Structure 1
Amino acid sequence: MFFTLNEIVRWFGMTVFEMCLSLVAWFTFSVLAVLKHENVLVTASWWTVFIPLFVCDGLNTYFCVIVFIRMYREAQYRVATFRFFSSIICLICMFVFKLLFCQKLNNKMGLSYSEMVSPLFIVLQIMMVKACQVY
């Protein structure tokens, strides 16, 4: 019924450290978003609310580069290259989604929701390819 930790790691292509980092960032973001929505943080903009998510993306990208270098030094060229490019493309798409969402909340751009969510479809397609390769 529930997925094991090994299955989640294989499907998402993230290490446990990256998942913990993402969970902390999303928890911090959700607390800040509620405070912003309830007008407790009146002077804060949406950009400051999204800072934990952007920092998490930067740290995950740095961690992916470190993992790529280590795997490449261990002569796992094909696995390292596939993991690196799929992870970087997912991170870039998630970053673009968060950026567009923040701009939509600030009323900076007149994007529709389908245009804003379109990077997530790329991430879902990459995850679908990874899921087919796992089993």
Structure 2
Amino acid sequence: MILSVKELTQWLGLTPFEIWLQLAAALVFTILMMLRDLFPGAITCWHAMTPFFVSDALSAYVCVIMLIRTYIDGWHKPAAMRALWSFFVLSLMFTFKYLLVRKLTDNIGFEYSEVMAPLFVILNMVMVRACQL
């Protein structure tokens, strides 16, 4: 079963533009990781993950714009709820990506379950949101 764009936007709380940003970042990340394997030492994990960090920043910018526009239109409660959801998901995704890169490069003392903890929280949030819809 393939979800439609409307279902994805309802469940994830993201706009189609934000979904497109994440997919484009995943494509560029894949290319950079391939180049990292072809030319060792030229590209680090930090360089390869840069598209994801940039897409998170652009998503946060879009969220701020949507918050301002919906607040000006008089939809105060939906604007606040959408902004709260979006910023919480973006902060958890940023935390996951940061911890993953730190684990891969610096070999910090975290286990992979600790690195994946923000994803587990996001999955629980999406599950609750899907039940509400």
Q: TM-score band (shorter)?
A: over 0.9
Q: So what's the TM-score if we normalise by structure 1? A: 0.92
Superposed displacement of residue 42, structure 1: 2.3
Aligned to 2:66: 67
Structure 1 vs Structure 2 CA RMSD: 1.3
Greater mean deviation of Cα atoms: 105-114 or 90-99: 105-114
The CA distance in 1 between the partners of 2:41 and 2:129, in whole Å, is 42
The CA distance in 2 between the partners of 1:41 and 1:86, in whole Å, is 39
Superposed displacement of residue 34, structure 1: 2.4
Stretches (4+) displaced over 6 A: none
Report the number of matched residues. 133
Aligned to 1:43: 42
The CA distance in 2 between the partners of 1:19 and 1:117, in whole Å, is 21
Percent of residue pairs bearing the same amino acid type: 38
Give deviations 1:66-110, integer Å, cap 9, x for gaps: 001111111111111111011100000000000000001103411
Unpaired segments ≥5 residues, structure 2: none
Amino acid at match of 1:113: Y
Aligned to 2:31: 31
Does the Cα contact within 8 Å between 1:86 and 1:126 map onto a contact in 2? Answer: no
Greater mean deviation of Cα atoms: 40-49 or 56-65: 40-49
User: SS at 1:50's partner residue?
Assistant: helix
The CA distance in 2 between the partners of 1:30 and 1:125, in whole Å, is 27
Structure with higher RCO (Cα < 8 A, 6+ apart):
1
The CA distance in 1 between the partners of 2:104 and 2:4, in whole Å, is 36
Aligned to 1:126: 125
Amino acid at match of 2:62: F
Greater mean deviation of Cα atoms: 89-98 or 100-109: 100-109
Q: Say yes or no: does 1:105 pair with 2:104.
A: yes
User: SS at 2:116's partner residue?
Assistant: helix
Q: So what's the TM-score if we normalise by structure 2? A: 0.93
Aligned to 1:52: 51
Greater mean deviation of Cα atoms: 105-114 or 94-103: 105-114
The CA distance in 2 between the partners of 1:66 and 1:91, in whole Å, is 15
Aligned to 1:21: 21
Superposed displacement of residue 41, structure 1: 4.5
